[in-house]
Copies of this chain bind each other. A is one copy, B any other.
Amino acid sequence: MTASREIHLVRRPEGMPVPEDFALVETQVAELGEGEVLVRNLLMSVDPYMRPRLSGAQPLNAAMEGGALGRIEKSRNPAFKEGSLVTSRQGFRELFVSDGKGLTPLSPDPALPLSVYMHVLGMTGFTAYGGLLHIGQLKDGEQVFVSTAAGAVGSIAAQIAKIKGCYVVGSTGSDDKVRWLTEEAGLDVALNYKNEPIRKALKAAAPKGIDVYFDNVGGDHLDAALSVMNTLGRIAVCGMISGYNEAGSRTPVYNLSNIIYGRINVRGFVGADFPHLYEPFRAEMAEWLKAGRIKYQETIYQGIDQAPAAMIGLLKGANTGKMLVALAD
């Protein structure tokens, strides 16, 4: 038997999660049966979409779910060699046993750091890519607005739009992030929504209106975008983080009649909605990364015991770019 540690949800959060909603639980990993493998997680992902799950789909007193990248430590399954890498949905734990289902072999490009497979080249980047190009139907040279533009998904969406020759406005919540967005990521305008009302700021920053809004926020950001959307504009709704932590109440949106006046298309999506784009995404994004055309930032917490703090920190905006937890080398 081998000891492992994992994070359980022990109480449903009221509003913003607190450390007491989670518990670090020590477990014993069973011996491998025929066809099974033991995976040691190296990195795990912490994402905004996890917040609504805490109020619903995530069972109490069970290990939490999430993207993870691990190494096969022992194998009794010929399809997985010891020492090889896999991605899975078995985050929030150090070790786990699998019969191979739900494991995806990973052959990383040695020219790229391993962690990018957890964000730019993983589901985060894929969500940005498909959300912008497929759901948002982005055309070269359009006017684009991205909220939480310095976040893991937003920063990739904004930079893809720049690669496509668009005029790109991003919103974020600190002056440091504003600087990174304009000086590193190359956005045309970055707004700190804490410094001025987003609606007024966006109106000034987007004199030609907005054709595609990549929404991670909802609430006041969605309202602001609706007030400047051009006719036949598209709003790709990737998340609505503004409403995730409000117990019992949701942020109202007032400008919805612009949906009819502007014949706007507002569409919620997840990466599973455009699986046919996965291969072109991987190829194109790896090229952009190697050519230095996509910049990224990471915030990496150390150790499984820090996973709850990473989750809470993400929801409070403590991260810069993608939030990860490193579980082993």
Contact = CB atoms under 8 A, between A and B. Distances in A.
A286 interface: no
Interface string A238-280: 1110011000011111111111111111111110010000000
Contacts of A17: none
Nearest to A56: B261
A52 interface: yes
A257 B240 contact: yes
B222 A261 contact: no
Nearest to A216: B260
Contacts of A256: 218, 222, 240, 243, 250-251, 253
B252 A262 contact: no
Copies of this chain present in the complex amount to 2
Contacts of A260: 218, 237-240, 268-269
A237 B252 contact: no
A238 B273 CA distance: 25
Q: Name which of A240, A261, A268 has the most chain B CB atoms within 10 A of its CB.
A: A268
A260 B265 CA distance: 14
Contacts of A244: 257
Contacts of A251: 254, 256
Contact of A264 (B239, B254, B264, B268): B268
Contacts of A252: 252-254
Interface string A297-317: 000000000000000000000
Interface residues of A, number: 32
A264 B259 CA distance: 14
Contacts of A253: 252-254, 256
Contacts of A267: 259, 263-267
B266 A265 contact: yes
B259 A237 contact: yes
Contacts of A52: 257, 261
Contacts of A249: 254
A241 to B, nearest CB: 9
Nearest to A259: B268
Contacts of A257: 52, 218, 240, 243-244, 250
Contacts of A255: 250
Contacts of A218: 256-257, 260
Contacts of A238: 260
B261 A269 contact: no
Nearest to A254: B250
Given A218-B256, A253-B256, A258-B268, 16 more contacts: A222-B256, A237-B259, A240-B259, A240-B260, A250-B255, A252-B253, A259-B267, A260-B268, A261-B268, A262-B268, A263-B273, A264-B267, A265-B265, A265-B266, A266-B267, A267-B267
19 contacts: A218-B260, A237-B260, A240-B257, A243-B256, A243-B257, A244-B257, A249-B254, A250-B254, A250-B257, A252-B254, A259-B268, A260-B268, A262-B268, A263-B269, A263-B273, A265-B265, A265-B266, A265-B268, A266-B267
